Structure 1
């Protein structure tokens, strides 16, 4: 269950967190290790407590929490460290990310973001794009004939790209998350004394 609404960005901007992985490690008798990646994709976790600066901020979070019924409904979250098809300060272009290579038949493509480092790379499915920011190109030529399912990140082109033509895209996106607890606890005395409450959000699969 998911609500297509974004958590208040003024509070999200001051949050902290990032991706986590799950790796099983077995140490052998020889001292060598066997490592296995349990998750195919990373899972992000954020603490939004750092974004609460005023009583109005607390009120806004309480309202958002109650409207989501605690952990029941997921929602969109803007991770300001990673919310574009390029780095946060770079402009979006329709050639930022390679989605696929045309085969003359396929018209539908999943938005992805590829992370490269040395000889390794990781492709992250983007399932909550910001529709108004999407730009698409085929063989380097920007396209206007396409539709986007903003709830899944699936793009459908009006015409199937020819065989060998690169399908590329540029976009902004959100992270699908939920509250990690069914309880909010904020001590006003401690808050006014400068203590930061801990309110955790966790990424979900949708």
Structure 2
């Protein structure tokens, strides 16, 4: 899939509205009971980039970004201000935030992920667009050095260790991350008069699978 490793201007995404979307198929049986199934293993996020615009300069920046991505053609990074850390919003990411897996003495590659837990259930979200310079890693609660013990591919979210992780050692990580998205429209409509009157354009953005 065509993707540009560039982030939508963070000052424009601040104030936008959006969040996760699920797809659930519900069949009501003749006895009144329901059968529910989801064809999606992972949620998909949608946002409205238009709500972050505050000036005509912002509109110009949006149009330039839209044109450079050729509308819906190229994906890009998006900062979800409500969910962009491996930890709570009020905290700073640390190397023990998220469990990536347990070593078996052979594996060297582990994928970044974030767990969402509630009521004994947990959903593990794949993180494929970590922010460069934000990732920290620990083995068995011992911080390990980037560039010496491990490396991260910020385009895929894969952590690769220099040596296989010893059997039984838990791999954890902390990070900031972006959401891979694309514009969900091939047209942006705005005018000076309507914008000055407080009418901002609707600019839908949708998460893409990579």
TM over 0.5: yes
Deviates more, 1:121-130 or 1:154-163: 154-163
Deviation at 1:194, TM superposition (A): 1.0
Count the aligned residue pairs. 206
Query: Contact 2:188–2:201 at 8 Å: present in 1 too?
Result: no
Cα separation, 2, equivalents of 1:45 and 1:170: 24
- RMSD over aligned CA atoms reads 0.8
The partner residue of 1:180 within 177, 184, 192 is 184
Structure 2 length normalisation: TM-score? 0.96
Structure 1: distance between partners of 2:181 and 2:165: 34
Moved more, 175-184 or 28-37: 28-37
Distance 1:89 1:99 in 2: 22
Q: Does 1:9 align with 2:10?
A: yes
Alpha-carbon separation, structure 2, partners of 1:87 and 1:111: 17
**Distance between the aligned counterparts of 1:155 and 1:136, measured in 2?**
9
Mapped partners of 1:32, 1:196: distance in 2:
45
Deviations 1:75-127 (A, max 9, x none): 00000100010122211110000000011111100000011001110001100
Query: What's the CA shift for 1:131?
Result: 2.1
Q: Flag structure 2 segments of 5+ consecutive residues without an equivalent.
A: none
Whole-angstrom CA distance in 1 between matches of 2:63 and 2:29: 49
The answer to whether the aligner puts 1:197 opposite 2:201 as a matched pair is yes
CA deviation profile, 1:130-184 (whole Å, cap 9, x unmatched): 1200000000000011111111000001122211110000000000000001111
In structure 1, stretches of 5+ residues that fail to align are none
Residue 89 of structure 2 is matched in structure 1 by: 88
- Determine if contact 1:19/1:45 at 8 Å carries over to the other structure: yes
CA distance in 1, matches of 2:181, 2:170: 31
Q: SS in structure 2 opposite 1:49?
A: helix
TM-score (norm 1): 0.98
Q: Is the Cα–Cα contact under 8 Å of residues 80 and 88 in structure 1 kept in the other structure? A: no
Q: Alignment partner for residue 152 of structure 1, among 143, 147, 156?
A: 156
- Please report how far the alpha carbon of residue 67 of structure 1 lies from its aligned counterpart in structure 2 after TM superposition: 0.2
Structure 2 Cα separation of the partners of residues 188 and 88 of structure 1: 36
Structure 1 runs of 4+ off > 3 angstroms?
none
